[in-house]
Structure 1
């Protein structure tokens, strides 16, 4: 049966990076199980279990990477014994005959399955964090480049006071900085289940070491250190607490919300023709409408962000229904939701890196939209200028109210341009400020401290947050295969 005749998830077959897909691959999973069995044996020997021989350990070291043939043999064995871990114990023992009798000694299945999952989750965060750092760095450069460019602000998607293109990007960056903090915290909180036995009591290991509690504790600590982790969870049932999965997926779900907001903003800006995502020379926007430049990358981000957010509920529900020391109804769903969450986050970051490295800004369109709304926003400035020339605030307010309604009618009922300023220039009452109107209508006077906020935020907050990740920052183009 051809691969084209079978369903495969688009997360791995279409979108995700090779490095992330590799982490959750079958070869990496089963090879990691072998690494765990090896380090358990090394630790048991170091702590004083004489039955573990140097020959056994050396033999295991030579066969850590599982071959295609061995995976196929384990699959056939699992069909017979109906137990994936024991199938791989048997196959590993076949290629390591000197170690066959001590592989998995004292352990329960969750020694390999749970510890391996925790290794994968930490490794997956190590893939995500550098990519997130680069998204932030690219957007920070964009923000500084456009920190002074006035743009119409929107509240309720209705015209509001001006901001700048750079300041708006800072709203995206700030949320991404929080995501970076959450990613790092979640990554560093990941420990190992360690060697805890069938119900977490370490009874089997206590038996192996003839009731020596100190040796059992040392064994737990040694395995964790050999695997490169800082800490082991002090108590477990048969599995590590599934609440840990909630803590691991929560930052990803929150990141999904950030992505959705940013991508939605870009989609709306594309409609306004003010800012667009990159559009390749040969890219086709529509099969029917040749002129279209659809924001397909941002639409992909929104689509996958919703999926990422939904996966957190899998972890919450699974954690809530675990009975006593464990049930097996966590297994199938975790095989789906944990890899899916990291594959999806990986795709989002690759896409955001592509978008953020090639955002296209159209200053003339932005200027035209500002000019269509600025006359209304400038009315307060005009009133203050008239008062400064000796006019009455109340009289000026009434004069400009009448003219504003007339100009609004031209825009809304006739489809014309906003001619409020021309009306002011043609109204004798406003003659004292005619020569001041250009200055009163300078968009840069309406953006408040947006440029200063942007510069300070990027040079202080962003720079400080990224300082320890400088080795990850690059300017490489991120190509999207499809």
Structure 2
């Protein structure tokens, strides 16, 4: 029977299908078959352009009919390929046979033996999967990450003038600005996104062991590496790995997954910080009529969007880590372990996409609680001690650090009144005292970053 969202094993295809189905265009079994068919057809077209004598009489005006096979590929066509696979027990060979059968039906069977000519399955897989990934990241991943980045930058700007108590080791520290702390994450993401976008999306195309053995023995006069460079680079828009075994080296693919994992790590850090700020009541959470926060405690409004994002980012990173570690390793000229692993590249992207959406949703449900942030600063005048002792050092006051240490490490921390009394008895000029009195938890926020 057809799998539906109630019977799917994976939550991606079940509970979260409505949020992830866009990725099915790029990473489903249907998509994989379609991309393989695209590579087979375009490779045949490239051979026809090469000037091989056996293909000289192929009617070029009919090439559009072959391209229509993958451009108009539908579920019924995919089922035909799967039916062939039941006989071949080989998924790539099934695509080859399907294309040959369609060529027979189109009256183009004379040239059918140049389908998959000289190729190994990995010449198809290691161009199809990178093509799928390239299409997905440009259509979905990059735009959605950019939307999240833009939102963070907007929050950073909106909250740029809000002073906030800093915390290091969980304890009160030098004040900062709320907007600047959001900008930290936006800046980190931007750096890693730039690095990610610089990584080439590589593909392998070179025959059974990467040496064009079959191609060269059939047509030794052809510069097959140059042909492959043009086919992969110009026709498919990928970068060919020129020195390989039967499969791609996967080093660049691993680098892509590692870069995506680093971005996710930054977002996990962000989610945990926002979660903490919510628990400190620095942010108010919107109350949505009809929604339930707890099955037992009616009052609860939980930061579920940030928690959901953190969970999905963790799952994604576990898979990204395995992909990055496993794919570049293959015994001798090739083993099959990459085959089942690489089919999963859409899974961590799906969890990542869900996390992006959850973070954006969560940001839309919070508002700054400036009263609480202000009150927290008012309770912690001790954080100005750093600034005061630094000015005293500048003025040559002996043991400035120790003076402030004695003032601030008390059972009852000093507040504004105690600091004013302390400043009044200091052996410094009236001008310096005015400078010291101007330091408050609300003004001691450093330079604008």
Fold match, TM over 0.5? Answer: yes
* Contact 1:57–1:99, Cα closer than 8 Å, also in 2: no
- Structure 1: gaps of 5 or more residues: 409-418, 454-482
Cα 1:178/1:280, change in 2 over 3 Å? farther
Whether 1:227 aligns to 2:235 is yes
What is aligned with 1:335?
343
Structure 1 partner of 2:198: 185
**Contact 2:383 2:441 (C-alpha < 8 Å) held by counterparts:** no
1:95 aligns with 2:102: yes
Consecutive unaligned residues of structure 2, counting only runs of 5 or more, are none
Q: Find the partner of 2:144 among 131, 153, 160.
A: 131
User: Which residue is equivalent to 1:57?
Assistant: 63
Change (3 A) 1:199 1:368: same
Query: How far off is 1:73 after superposition?
Result: 2.6
Q: Does 1:377 align with 2:388?
A: no
274-283 or 148-157: bigger deviation: 274-283
Structure 2 residue 7 is the aligned partner of structure 1 residue 6: yes
Q: Distance in 2 between matches of 1:401 and 1:351?
A: 47
User: What TM-score comes out, normalization by structure 1 length?
Assistant: 0.79
Deviates more, 1:362-371 or 1:438-447: 438-447
Q: Deviations over 1:182-225 (max 9, x none)?
A: 22112xx113323x11111112222342x1132x2343134224
Alignment of 1:307-456 (within 5 A): 307-319=315-327, 321-336=329-344, 338-357=345-364, 359-374=366-381, 376-379=382-385, 401=406, 405-408=410-413, 420-421=415-416, 440=438, 442-449=440-447, 452-453=448-449
Name the TM-score, length of structure 2 as normaliser. Answer: 0.84
> Residue 297 of structure 1 aligns with which residue?
305
Larger helix fraction of residues: 1
CA contact (8 A) 1:407 1:420 kept: no
Over 3 Å counting, the alpha-carbon distance change for 1:49 and 1:357 in structure 2 is farther
How large is the Cα RMSD of the aligned pairs?
3.5
Distance apart, 1:128 and its partner CA: 1.5
Aligned position for 2:38 = 35
Corresponding residue for 1:113?
A: 125
Structure 2 counterpart of 1:459:
none
Distance 2:360 2:398 in 1: 52
Bigger relative contact order, structure 1 or 2 (CA pairs below 8 A, ≥6 apart):
1
Name which of 164, 168, 183 aligns with 1:155.
168
Looking at structure 1, the residues matched to 208 and 392 of structure 2 have their Cα atoms a distance apart, in angstroms, of 84
**Any idea what SS the aligned residue of 1:444 has?**
coil
> Residues of 2 paired with 1:364 and 1:306: CA distance?
34
CA contact (8 A) 1:59 1:96 kept: no
Q: Which moved more, 1:347-356 or 1:302-311?
A: 347-356
